[in-house]
A and B are shown apart, each in its own frame.
Chain A
């Protein structure tokens, strides 16, 4: 019963996502011409002004280290946290007093 409901709701979610990705109702793919400026104005800005504003020739690194460098700092923190968590959980168990 629960499982059937779960699959049913997964189907509904899937249908919703498919609807959202149908170009007629939702997100379009392969922008060109006017649509590029209408939907990807931020990307367009980075491409046009990235080199002069930041100085790197690689736009992706310009974005992830300058325009959105704070997110990269956050990602580094995620990695640090994951490592700290993994080594914290994989440490040896506490010994009983009489053993140690």
Chain B
């Protein structure tokens, strides 16, 4: 008996019942969203524990095993390996905190029952992507996640930037999704199955040009979804325009699940037996290097606080892609393992710290009504708790040693320097820009108080609590960097590499 189905059932039930629950009125919708996301968090923790103790879970929908009377899978399967379990845990955790934060942050907005419905669906879509073992099902949940995030970006429909960013995001996002659908179509036409593990089997028997074209389409779509550099422009508009709790989820989770996780899953679990991983890896490294430099450099020149954080997200995605790319080129070596473990570790860390930073930005906007950095001077005087949380988040994202960002960045630096010193140097340059950007913000925060900030005060408990849970997570994870890396991230990286194990647990029937 596994708890895995409840990971979908609970948020789905929560979202579909939200219009009815909100008829009660009062605070019922907030309470319901909190309860639902808390229950999802509990299930997420249990699924994580289950995968960690018992290995990969394979779950067939509608039957005991995916085969029926055949020798190939005919039903949709869920397959949660260690990497998937880490993503499930981080998605449920950050979503829960974002929902608690929204209770106070969104109280001046209207249409809140729609807001909580959409935020639960966003969580549902991300969980569906993390657990699925079926390529078309992956597309369906990618669409659920994307459509919910288009609507949430434009949620404040009375602001021009919300609508503008939403339209931009929707037009280009749908194009990227259709690339992915086209790739799936080609794969089905050539190989006749939609199950990821079995697709890997068929593809290794008969690698064709169709598979390569499909991979190119997948990579194009997924690099877009992760906000890699030539196609990061939607991110820099969408993340600032969204309500801050949504920015925290978009920046912390959506670009990781829909981009990084999906890319790792597609490349390693489907294509790695059939295509040359070195080529794919170098393509990803190329984009990673551009992303690193462009994202971090653009962060330095921003005047808008949330836009700065959005560009910084682009820059951090560059590190994760770099680790992923090196993990592909150096497949089967120690360097590749360290790089991939670093990429997974940084995915988790960045989700936590960027969620924290966006929640802080939201608190500042909520209190002051501006996000122009030039007007925020001296905020530390009047909003000490918020500024402290920002200080911790900024130090972590730059990679200061006592905090969690250090270990994950160190793994990526170490592996990239060993892999190729030029790439290591590019990674260091990216960090230099990143440091410059955050030091600039900190100087503003701790400067002389301007007139505008004199009347500000710290937000209430519902906004401070999620921020301080994230601060606590950053600090506690910072105490045990190498233990976390050895116990969780390296096994997850190995599980991702172990495509034979992935196929075997599928064909074993689970």
The verdict on A33 contacting chain B, using a C-beta distance below 8 Å, is no
A73→B246 CA distance, assembly (Å): 25
Q: How near does chain B come to A9, taking the closest CB pair, in angstroms?
A: 10
Which residues between 40 and 90 of chain A lie within 8 Å of chain B, taking CB atoms? Answer: 40-43, 45-46, 49, 53, 66-71, 73-75, 77-78, 80-82, 84-90
Please tell me if the beta carbons of A91 and B157 are within 8 angstroms of each other in the complex: yes
Q: In terms of DSSP, what is the predominant structure of the interface of chain A?
A: helix
Given A70-B76, A94-B109, A84 and B137 touching (CB < 8 A)?
no
- Chain A residue with the shortest CB-CB distance to B122: A81
Please tell me if the beta carbons of B62 and A80 are within 8 angstroms of each other in the complex: no
Given A20-B186, A42-B74, A77 and B114 touching (CB < 8 A)?
no
Q: Mark B163-196, 1 if CB is under 8 A from A, else 0.
A: 1001000000000000000100010011111100
**Count of A-B contacts judged by CB separation below 8 Å:** 133
The verdict on B443 contacting chain A, using a C-beta distance below 8 Å, is no
Given A78-B144, A88-B151, A89-B157, A40 and B117 touching (CB < 8 A)?
no
A93→B61 CA distance, assembly (Å): 43
Which residues between 78 and 132 of chain B lie within 8 Å of chain A, taking CB atoms? Answer: 108-111, 114-115, 117-118, 121, 124, 128
Given A27-B190, A49-B68, A88-B114, A70 and B61 touching (CB < 8 A)?
yes
- Chain B residue with the shortest CB-CB distance to A39: B192
Q: How near does chain B come to A49, taking the closest CB pair, in angstroms?
A: 6
The verdict on B12 contacting chain A, using a C-beta distance below 8 Å, is yes
Contact of A78 among B68, B110, B147, B152 (CB under 8 A): B147
Residues of A within 8 A of B209 (CB): 19-20, 25-26
Please tell me if the beta carbons of B150 and A42 are within 8 angstroms of each other in the complex: no
The verdict on A32 contacting chain B, using a C-beta distance below 8 Å, is no
A92→B110 CA distance, assembly (Å): 9
- Chain A residue with the shortest CB-CB distance to B216: A16
Residues of A within 8 A of B166 (CB): 89
A74→B127 CA distance, assembly (Å): 12
Q: How near does chain B come to A56, taking the closest CB pair, in angstroms?
A: 14
Residues of A within 8 A of B109 (CB): 94
The verdict on B451 contacting chain A, using a C-beta distance below 8 Å, is no
Please tell me if the beta carbons of B213 and A16 are within 8 angstroms of each other in the complex: yes
Please tell me if the beta carbons of A66 and B74 are within 8 angstroms of each other in the complex: no
**What is the interface residue range for chain B against chain A?**
35 or more
Q: How near does chain A come to B130, taking the closest CB pair, in angstroms?
A: 14
The verdict on A11 contacting chain B, using a C-beta distance below 8 Å, is no
Q: Which of A20, A25, A69, A73 has the most CB of B within 10 A?
A: A20
Please tell me if the beta carbons of B15 and A89 are within 8 angstroms of each other in the complex: no
Contact of B140 among A20, A78, A86, A89 (CB under 8 A): A78
The verdict on B70 contacting chain A, using a C-beta distance below 8 Å, is yes
Given A67-B74, A71-B140, A42 and B192 touching (CB < 8 A)?
yes
**What is the interface residue range for chain A against chain B?**
35 or more
Q: How near does chain B come to A36, taking the closest CB pair, in angstroms?
A: 10
Residues of A within 8 A of B213 (CB): 16-17, 19-20, 26
Please tell me if the beta carbons of B118 and A71 are within 8 angstroms of each other in the complex: no
Please tell me if the beta carbons of A66 and B151 are within 8 angstroms of each other in the complex: no
Residues of B within 8 A of A38 (CB): 192
Please tell me if the beta carbons of B68 and A82 are within 8 angstroms of each other in the complex: no
Residues of A within 8 A of B147 (CB): 78, 81-82, 85
Residues of A within 8 A of B118 (CB): 81, 84-85, 88
Residues of A within 8 A of B502 (CB): none
Q: Mark B147-164, 1 if CB is under 8 A from A, else 0.
A: 110111011011000010
Q: Which of B61, B214, B216 has the most CB of A within 10 A?
A: B61
Q: How near does chain B come to A26, taking the closest CB pair, in angstroms?
A: 4
A39→B206 CA distance, assembly (Å): 12
Contact of B114 among A20, A49, A74, A84 (CB under 8 A): A84
Which residues between 56 and 73 of chain B lie within 8 Å of chain A, taking CB atoms? Answer: 61-62, 68-70, 72
Q: Which 5 A-B pairs have the closest CB atoms?
A: A85-B151, A88-B114, A74-B140, A93-B158, A27-B189
Measured CB to CB, the residues of A under 8 A from B are: 16-17, 19-20, 25-27, 38-43, 45-46, 49, 53, 66-71, 73-75, 77-78, 80-82, 84-94
| A–B complex contacts, Cβ < 8 Å, 13 sampled | A16-B213, A20-B186, A25-B209, A26-B210, A41-B72, A42-B72, A42-B192, A45-B72, A49-B68, A81-B148, A85-B114, A88-B157, A94-B109
Given contacts A45-B68, A82-B147, 13 further A-B contacts (CB under 8 A): A26-B213, A27-B210, A45-B69, A68-B136, A69-B62, A71-B76, A74-B144, A75-B140, A77-B144, A81-B121, A85-B114, A85-B118, A89-B155
